[in-house]
Chain A
C-alpha cells in the first residue's frame, strides 16, 4: 500500500472529506465526554446545533466569531504568502493597546473620525509588532516561527504592565483601563444584542482580501510565492518583497482585530482581551484551506462550538474546555484527512481482496 500523488481531484471528494473530518472528530471526542459523565449526543447537540437554533444565540455566535475572523484572515494572508506568522496573538493585543491609547490621548473626537482612526491605529500597531520578525526573515533568513511566537508573551506582559501601572482604572483600582469614550465604541447592530460593527469591518476586510487575491497582480504574485517560491523567482517575481507585504498585511489585520475587540465588546482594555484568538486563528485558516469564504465559515463554526460549550457546561456539567479540545481535534483530523485530497492510496483494493 503506497501513497501516490493524485492528478485529478474529483468534485465529490472535498465535501466528503469535510464530513468525514467532522464525523471523526465527534467519534474521538465522544469517549472523553462519556468519561466526564455526559451523554455524547446531548453534548454534540449543544455544541453544534443548539447555538444555531435561536436568534439570540446566533447573534452570540457571530459575536464570538468576530475576533476569529480577524485572526483567521490574518493567518490566511500570511500563509498564502509562504510566511508562517504565529504571532497573531501578540499582534492582536498590540492593536488593542493602540486603540486604547488613541482613545486616551484624543478623547474628544467625534465618532466619525474616532472609529476609523482607532482601527487604523490598531492596524499600524499590529504591523509594527510583526515588523521585526518579518525583517529578520526577509533580510537574514531567520525562521519567523520562533520570532513571532516569542513576541506573544511579550505583548501580554506589555498589556499587563500598562494595566497594572499607568492605565489602571483610577475608580475601581482593577487592572483594567478606564472605559472608552462613547465615540470610540463600535455601534451595536441590533438593539438588545451585543453584536457590534466589528463584524462589518471583518467582512469588508475579507472581501478586500478575496478581491486582492483573485483580481490583482499582487494577489497572483503572492499566491505564486506561497505555492512555489522557486518558480515564482524564475518568472521574475520579487519573492522577498512579496513575502514582506504579506507578513505586514497579516500582522495589520490581526491588529485591527484587537482594536475591534476592545472597541466593540468590552469597551475597555483588560488583560483578557485575547483568549488565545491568535492561535485559534491559525486553526481557522487551516480548516479553511486558506480560502477566504471558508475562513469566515470556519470562524463561525469554531465560534459555534465555543458558545455551545458554554451552554453545555451549564446544562450538562461538562467543562467548557471540551470546546477547545474539540477544535484542536478537528484541526488535527482535518490536516490528516486533507492528505487524501493530494494523494491516493494505491493497493487498498488488493489488500481488501486478500482479506475477504
Chain B
C-alpha cells in the first residue's frame, strides 16, 4: 500500500466531511439539528460548479456556494426558530428541496449529458509528496477548525451559542437574544456545509454529477454525535472515515481483497460509524436544548 498516496487521498476525502461536520457542530451546539445538511452540500456543489463554469473562476464559484449555504441556513432558521416547526421534517424537506432545485436547474441549463470540466482549484505545494493538497483542505484543517474551536471556547459569541444550546432560559435571562443566536449559528453552519459540497465539484471532480454528495451529509451528522459535539474530535472522526474510505480503494486492488466485493468496502465506513455510535452511544449527553424550539413563556 502506498502510504503517501493514501495520505493524500485521505486528506481529500476528509475535507468535505470536515467542513460539513464543523458546520453541523455549530448548529447543534446552538440546539438545532440541521438535517438540511445533505441538501446544503448538494446545492453548494452545484451552485459552485455552475458559477465557476459561467465565470471561469473557481473562486467566484466558491463565493456563490457560500452564499447558497447562507440562504439554506436562513430557510432552516425561519422554519425551526421563528416558526418552531419540527426539526426533523424541516431538515428533510429542505434537503429534498435543495436537491430537487439543483437537479432541476442542472437539467434546465445543461441537459442530461455529462458535464464539462471547469477550471478547478489547483493543488498547493504541487509535486511535493505528502504536502501536496488543496488550499481548501489546508484552510479547513489549519484555519477553520482551530478558529471554530477558539470561537466556541473563548469568545462571547461562542459562549452565547453554547448557552443557547444548553439552557435557553438561562441565556434569555442573561439578556441574550436566543433566536438571533440560533439564526447566526444556522447561517454560519450552512455556509460551511456548502463549502464542503463545493469542494467536491471545484477541487476533486472538476465537474458536477448527480448524487455527488452520496450521503456524506448524513455521515457528518453521525460524526458530530460521535464527537460529542466538539470540534477536534469531529475533525478526527472525519479523518477516520476518510482513511477507511480512501483505504478501501487501495485495498480493492490488493490481491488479498480482490475477491471482496467493492461495495462492501465502500459500505465499511458507514458501518464503522454505526458501530462507533452503538458503542460510544451509552450515556450520551445531548446539548440541553437539542431539538427544542424556544418560546419565552
Q: Hey, which bits of chain A sit against chain B, CB under 8 A?
A: 32, 36, 84, 86, 132, 136, 140-143, 145-147, 149-154, 157-158, 160-161, 164-165, 276, 279-280, 282-283, 286, 319-322, 324-325, 327-329, 331-332, 335-336, 339
Contacts and interface: CB of A to CB of B under 8 A. Distances in A.
Given A141-B284, A146-B222, A328-B96, A136 B277 contact: yes
Contacts of A339: 83-85
A140 B225 CA distance: 14
B281 interface: yes
Contacts of B4: none
B122 interface: no
Contacts of A151: 270, 274
Contacts of B263: 157-158, 160-161, 164
A319 B284 contact: no
Interface residues on B, range: 35 or more
B288 interface: no
B41 to A, nearest CB: 14
B221 A149 contact: yes
B212 interface: no
A157 B267 contact: yes
B2 interface: no
Interface of A is mostly: helix
Interface string B70-113: 00000000010001111011101110110111011011100000
Contacts of B219: 150
A154 B267 contact: yes
27 contacts: A86-B88, A86-B92, A132-B274, A143-B225, A146-B221, A146-B277, A147-B277, A150-B222, A157-B264, A157-B270, A158-B263, A160-B263, A161-B262, A164-B263, A165-B261, A279-B92, A319-B107, A321-B101, A322-B100, A322-B104, A327-B100, A331-B89, A332-B90, A332-B94, A335-B85, A335-B86, A335-B93
B90 A161 contact: no
Contacts of A142: 277-278, 281, 284
B179 to A, nearest CB: 13
Contacts of B104: 32, 36, 319, 321-322, 324-325
Nearest to B102: A321
Given A147-B277, A152-B215, A152-B218, 13 more contacts: A132-B278, A140-B282, A145-B221, A149-B221, A150-B273, A150-B274, A153-B267, A160-B263, A279-B96, A282-B89, A322-B104, A325-B104, A327-B96
B225 A157 contact: no
Nearest to A339: B83
Given A321-B104, A324-B100, A325-B100, A146 B218 contact: yes
Contacts of B85: 335-336, 339
A328 B88 CA distance: 14
4 nearest CB pairs, A to B: A161-B263, A324-B100, A319-B107, A328-B97
Contacts of A327: 96, 100
Contacts of B271: 154
B214 interface: yes
A282 B92 CA distance: 8
